[in-house]
Amino acid sequence: MSLLQLPRFGNARPWVQTAVLRPELGSLVAAALLLMFFSIASSGAMLEIPTIARVLDTAWPYGIIAVAVGLLMISGEFDLSTGVMVGTAGALLGVMATEWGMNLWLALLLSLLICLALGLWNGVLVVWTGLPSFVITLGTFFGLRGANVALSKYFTGDALIENIDDAAGFDSLHSIVATVFGTAPSDFRVSLLWWGGFTLIATWILWRTKIGNWIFATGGDREAARAVGVPVNGTKIGLFMLTAGAAWFVGVSNAVRYTSVQAGQGVGAEFFYIIAAVVGGCAMSGGRGSAIGPAIGALIWGIAFVGIPHAGWNSDWRWAFYGVLLLLATLINHIVGERVRTARSG
């Protein structure tokens, strides 16, 4: 049988192809360049073990949530309630363990269920109302921001919940979420393994399961996906629960690690997760991205956070740096997106 070669109208440049198929490559290059830059600017101090330990310790909480936020973004949605959800999870664990004398493992399970329920709330509301998830989760953000502090004060009389280490089950839980390897300042938390493991599992789900295909399809062309039988709504709701679950993990890890919880924490962090996902190559309009990209995006934040003071600059420049990075990454994503649109032809 002779093969019929259809005429090609391939006016898409190879780099656009690569950017579409491997969206995290740009962030990987950026991370490497930044590391080189700060190594030179800090006369090599950037590459010492204690500095690397600090970079990773800064990055992991952002990394875990950014990976989940990245998957949600690929499906075409946003979650602004992830930052305060960290505070919610910590405060729930703290109140249950210190005020109600609950075993920490039970408190862990209950706080997870509540956070997942909040994620379900976000997802169901987005799917049912059809309103932008930006608005729905902004509402959840403000609701939780108020509730976190108000309820903490109601139950404990203070927005700071302390002495979590007195609760039953602390030692076993601490060993799982907050064990330290090495001695300060060259210390590495077990959290890094959780971060790496979660990133790998998310990558696996995204690239090698049918749920991953549904995530891409949902964000790529929702109507097309629905028409061929992809459970579009279920995929979105599941991902909102995943972001809530990721925030829960970071919240309880920190509560156990520091043995105290500031109920007002996490406000503003939601932007970092979104920035990390965008810097990692996830398209704000959905349909494109990876799980490893957001993890690299969080790593870039860690490099800048630690590198800027090491280079001898005022550490306030971190914020400006991250703002510029967000703009650049979004611009690149936008250009790729435009190329994709114009590359289509009759």
Partner 1 sequence: MTTDQSTPAADETTIDPAAQAEVPVLEVRGLGKRFGSVQALEDVDVSLRAGEVTCVVGDNGAGKSVFIKMLCGLIRPSEGEILLDGLPTEFTSPRQARSLGIVAVYQDLALAPMMSLWRNFFMGGEPVKGWGIFQRFDVGYAKEAMQSELEKLGVNLGDPDRAAHTLSGGERQGLAIARAMYYGARVLILDEPTSALGVRQSGAVLRLIRRAAQRGTAVILVTPKPQHAFWVGDRFLVFQRGRLVEDRPSETLTLESLSYLMAGGGEVDELESAIATA
**Cβ atoms of 302 and 55 closer than 8 Å:** yes
Classify residue 184 by burial, with Cβ atoms within 10 Å: 0-12, 13-18, 19+. exposed
The answer to whether residue 233 forms part of the interface with partner 1 (CB under 8 A) is no
CB of 96 to partner 1, least distance (A): 30
Of residues 24 and 270, the one with the C-beta less far from partner 1 = 24
CB of 179 to partner 1, least distance (A): 25
Tally of CA atoms within 13 A in the half-sphere of 205 that contains its CB: 21
Of residues 25 and 340, the one with the C-beta less far from partner 1 = 340
Of residues 174 and 236, the one with the C-beta less far from partner 1 = 236
Helix axes 49-74, 191-208, angle to 10 degrees: 30
Among 67, 247, 283, 325, binds partner 1 (CB under 8 A): 283
The answer to whether residue 344 forms part of the interface with partner 1 (CB under 8 A) is yes
Q: Decide: helix, strand or coil at residue 160.
A: strand
Q: How far apart are the first and last CA of the chain?
A: 27
**Cβ atoms of 267 and 87 closer than 8 Å:** yes
Query: Per CB under 8 A, which region of 6-14, 35-43, 83-91, 140-148 contacts partner 1?
Result: 6-14
The answer to whether residue 184 forms part of the interface with partner 1 (CB under 8 A) is no
Among 26, 87, 212, 302, binds partner 1 (CB under 8 A): 212
**Cβ atoms of 181 and 190 closer than 8 Å:** yes
The answer to whether residue 3 forms part of the interface with partner 1 (CB under 8 A) is yes
The answer to whether residue 12 forms part of the interface with partner 1 (CB under 8 A) is yes
**Residues between 14 and 53 with contacts to partner 1, criterion CB under 8 A:** 17, 20-21
Query: In sequence order, what are the residues at sequence separation of 6 or more whose Cβ sits closer than 8 angstroms to the Cβ of residue 62?
Result: 269, 272, 273, 276, 298, 301, 302
Among 251, 266, 287, 293, binds partner 1 (CB under 8 A): 287
**Residues between 67 and 126 with contacts to partner 1, criterion CB under 8 A:** none
Return the number of other C-beta atoms located less than 10 Å from residue 204's C-beta: 12
CB of 324 to partner 1, least distance (A): 26
Query: Per CB under 8 A, which region of 33-41, 227-235, 252-260, 320-328 contacts partner 1?
Result: 227-235
Residues 295-322 as b/e (b if ≥16 CB within 10 A, e otherwise) read bbbbbbbbbbbbbbebbeeeeeebeebb
The answer to whether residue 210 forms part of the interface with partner 1 (CB under 8 A) is yes
The answer to whether residue 341 forms part of the interface with partner 1 (CB under 8 A) is yes
CB of 70 to partner 1, least distance (A): 15
The answer to whether residue 54 forms part of the interface with partner 1 (CB under 8 A) is no
Between the alpha carbon of residue 78 and those of residues 133, 150, 211, 273, 275, the distances in Å are 6, 26, 19, 10, 12
Of residues 12 and 190, the one with the C-beta less far from partner 1 = 12
Q: Which residues bind partner 1 (CB under 8 A)?
A: 1-10, 12, 17, 20-21, 204, 208-210, 212-213, 216-217, 220-221, 223-225, 227-230, 283, 287-288, 340-341, 343-346
